[in-house]
Amino acid sequence: MYKSWKRTAFRAGCALTSLVALSACGGGTTGGVNSTPTPPPVSPPPPPPPPPPPPPPTNFDTAEYRRSNGAVQAKAITGYNAGATGAGVKAAVIDSGIAQFNAQFAGRIDPASADLAGSRGIGDEGGHGTAVSDVLLGAKNDSGIHGVAFGATLLVARTDTPGTCANADPDMGCSHDDNAIARGVDLAVASNARVINISLGGSPPNSTLRAALGRATAAGIIIVFSAGNDGTVDPDPFAQIANDPLARNLIIIAGALDASNAALASFSNRAGNGASHYIGALGENVRAIDQTGTSFLWSGTSFSAPIVSGAVALLAQAFPNLTGAQIVDLLFRSAVDIGATGVDPVFGNGALDLSKAFGPQGPLTLAGSQIALPATTGMTSAPMGDGGQHGLSTVVLDSYRRAYLADLSAGLTRAPLQPRLAPALGIGTRSLAVAGGSTAIALSVAASSGESSVDRLLLSANEEHHARALAGSVVRRLGRNTAIALGISRGGLALASQLDARGSGDFLVGGSALDSFGFDARPKSGLAMRQDIGGVGFTASAETGEVRLWENGLFSEMRRGYREHGYGVLSLGATKELGPLRLSARATNLVERETILGARFDGAFGKGGARSWFADLEGRWVPSRSWTVTAAWRQGWTKLAAGGLRPNTDHLRTSAWSFDAAHTGLFGRDDRLSMRVAQPLRVSRGGFDLTLPTRYDYKTETAGFSPMRLNLAPTGRERDFEFAYARPLWGGQISANTYVRRQPGNFVNSPDDLGAAIRFSFGL
């Protein structure tokens, strides 16, 4: 059998010359006076020199690489950057021999290499075998080109019939006997080759060669055939052995693509009846040397095949766990679909793409576990701010059980900054209040989409001063010393604050340290009760509600793009007045079903949910009728049960504080100027102590684990500054507020949030 091919002469450092038609073998075609001086004063030894800097990373995008058009079009640089060169992998080339003394192959020719058709040695007479080998694994030496797998070992199986490669007839070329090829296949099996390249074509293999091919595939060796250069609808008959059961899906047929990587070369046989085993690679004007060391541009499927074989060698080195069948499957699955969707009769599986083949395939799992790597690790909350941004590098496995590094912290979504001014203004909301005897009812109704919804009570600054003792959804006094409040869409803590006659002042944005937990919690119902005993007011409250988290692409359980997660609160407090000083203390227990301080994490971090305890202290001093000074502090402790990647219970510490002062009668009897400085609730310490896979042994297929920490304490620290002024006007009240939030949301790089508002309202 024989095939001829075309090649274009190219001299290194010179311009491209004319086409020269030559004939040869193969399936390409067109194929180191002592004295005692006064000792110097003792001084400390100099510090040791700093360690040398690490060597710079190897640059693979060199001029040599760019000249290696076969490797470039296959995007082999992705493999190089991943550390793959083919080193340690043996590739057999059954062809016309090799230019064995050429620097392109120095030190990498396997000693088992042999002439299997005579006793001539492995030298190459025609150049085809040398060119094919150069494309597959030519050395990276900054000269000429390098092969796809430039670190691989070459097993030369010379099988050309003596004398045929020296034939001057361009229509003849090298011929290769099936029995010699069979001996080459058996040599590859005996030498533990990982891939065999056969860039030959002709009639179907005889029984001897078929048996040898069967033994090779049974050993798990991948064999790459060239598709042929007759421009037919089906691959060369010699390559159609890929369809035979003895191939065990380990034989690949390589077709020739042009430089566009989107079309077959005009001479290339199509996928046809071998479509499921067919893949395309550059086969037109492929740069390589011949037996004399002269560079040429070669055309033919003979030169597509070694590009595919080189890809096999790179993958085999990079991922030693992969079987031959897995490598073949990976190459086909990662191929670029350039024809009709799916496997088609022209391009088969598509165009070889090593950038995709080296990328993870299918779902990812944490090494040594069945825990799936989530697309998003979770969403943090405002108390965590920019915490959790430090890398959590861990080993994950793809569907082929190939190891990759993944950064779990990169999957964390940051809580969106919540606007404060517009909601505080209550635009579109109307507050109504009715009082009679010992009962008061207050309700806020907001019109939305033709419906009415119960919202939180909204009172203006002066209204709150006048109504604070009775404010709430429903407040009932049960005698002189007892009061009870019930709320719908109003929390128990807010109701308790009202029963304690603790107003929020004139502020719109800067909240008291005791006003919220720092995240978007929407109460559904609340209950509070106050009992005065011996000059001390004791308050108990409870509430249930939902934490709202924004989730993109949510189509069920959706309210305006938010998913809701339940929580519950129980609180006990006491208030004592000592002349102008009023002191309050409160203990609160917050239980979240699925969230952690308003954040939601993937199940890999445990089942979710947390229990928090808060200790609140507040002091209010009224030194005169015109001055009021208030300071508040909240300290929190959150406990997270062990689960998932967290082997032990984790804890978070949080804190919030606020200070405000108000002066009445500044310009008139009833006006009031207020100032507040506050830090909303923020995680001050704590995070997740994780046990993560950080290394992977391909030989034993086991992962090594190391402790790692996800620090949830943010670098940023939000501080709010707000000034408010209010005075009566025309039977109502006019008020003005201006504020600035520094590092809003506890993000150190967040721009300041500035705002101002002027309001006019008619009070109670």
Mean pLDDT in residue range 596-602: 88
- Give the 3-state secondary structure percentages of the chain, helix then strand then coil, rounded to 5: 15, 35, 45
In the prediction, which pLDDT does 428 show? 47
The reported pLDDT for the residue numbered 763 is: 52
Distance, in Å, from the CA atom of 542 to the CA atom of 588, rounded to the nearest integer, reads 9
3 state SS of 296 = strand
Residue 503 clears pLDDT 70, i.e. is over it: no
Q: How many residues does the chain have?
A: 764
pLDDT at 464 over 60: no
Residues 250 and 223: their CA atoms lie apart, in Å, by 6
Longest dimension (CA), the chain: 121
Whether the pLDDT of residue 490 is over 80: the answer is no
Judge residue 621's burial from the number of C-beta atoms within 10 Å of its C-beta, 0-12 exposed, 13-18 middle, 19 or more buried: middle
How confident is the model at residue 467, as a pLDDT? Answer: 37
Residue 650 has pLDDT above 80, yes or no: yes
Question: How many angstroms separate the CA atoms of 465 and 668, rounded?
Answer: 17
Judge whether 508 and 533 are in contact, CB under 8 Å.
no
pLDDT at 472 (0 to 100): 46
| pLDDT number for residue 500 | 73
Could you tell me what percent of the chain has a pLDDT over 70?
Answer: 82
What mean pLDDT do residues 44-50 have? 48
Pair 542, 526: CB distance under 8 Å: yes
pLDDT of residue 73: 97
**Confidence band of 630 (pLDDT split at 50, 70, 90):** very high
449 pLDDT higher than 50: no
Highest mean pLDDT, choosing among 453-467, 627-641, 721-735: 627-641
173-182, 263-272, 296-305, 487-496 — which is least confidently predicted?
487-496
In this predicted structure, what is the pLDDT of residue 216? 98
103-121 per-position pLDDT tens digit: 999 999 999 999 999 999 9
pLDDT surpassing 50 at residue 19: no
Whether 473 has a pLDDT exceeding 80, the answer reads no
Question: Average pLDDT in the 540-558 region?
Answer: 69
Check residue 4 and give its pLDDT: 35
pLDDT, position 516: 86
One-letter-per-residue 3-state SS of 132-159 = HHHHHHCCCCCCCCCCCCCCCEEEEEEC
Angle between helices 301-318 and 324-334 (to 10 degrees): 120
Q: Give pLDDT, residue 542.
A: 92
Rounded CA-CA distance 607/600 in Å is 10
Range in 254-263, 410-419, 530-539 the model is least confident about: 410-419
pLDDT exceeds 60 at position 574: yes
Take residue 320 and report the two structure tokens written for it.
């030693």
The residue among 312, 307, 234, 298 whose CA lies nearest residue 268 is 234
pLDDT band at 440 (very low <50, low <70, confident <90, very high): low
Let me know: does 128 contact 352? Beta carbons within 8 Å.
Answer: no
User: Above 70 in pLDDT, residue 194?
Assistant: yes
Say whether pLDDT at 173 is over 50.
yes
Q: What is the mean pLDDT of residues 296-312?
A: 97
Asked if the model's pLDDT at residue 13 lies above 80, the reply is no
| Higher pLDDT pick, 553 / 653 | 653
Q: Where in 534-671 does DSSP place strands (E)?
A: 536-550, 562-578, 581-592, 600-601, 610-624, 627-640, 650-664
**Greater pLDDT, 532 or 421:** 532
pLDDT tier at 187, thresholds 50, 70, 90: very high
Contact between 496 and 530 under an 8 Å Cβ cutoff? The reply is yes
Lowest-confidence region among 32-41, 122-131, 492-501, 554-563: 32-41
Q: Which residues contact 535 (CB under 8 A, 6 or more apart)?
A: 576, 577
DSSP string, 439-469: EEEEEEEEEETTEEEEE-----HHHHHHHTT
Beta-ladder partners of 724 = 674, 737
- 45 or 523, which is more confident: 523
Give me the pLDDT at residue 327, please. Answer: 98
**pLDDT tens for residues 67-107?**
999 999 999 999 999 999 999 999 999 999 999 999 999 99
337-353 per-position pLDDT tens digit: 999 999 999 999 999 99
Identify the three-state secondary structure at position 176.
strand
Task: Work out the pLDDT band at 250, boundaries 50, 70, 90.
Answer: very high
pLDDT value at residue 411: 79
> How much is the pLDDT for 466?
37
Find the mean pLDDT for residues 127-140. 97
Q: Which two tokens stand for residue 294?
A: 């002269």
Of 262-266, 395-399, 587-591, 669-673, the range with the lowest mean pLDDT is 669-673
- What is the C-alpha radius of gyration for the chain, rounded to an integer number of angstroms? 39
Residue 188 CB neighbour total at 10 angstroms:
29
Whether pLDDT at 150 is above 60 = yes
pLDDT level of residue 8 (50, 70, 90 thresholds):
very low
> How far is Cα 677 from Cα 52, in angstroms, rounded to an integer?
50
Average pLDDT value for the chain: 84
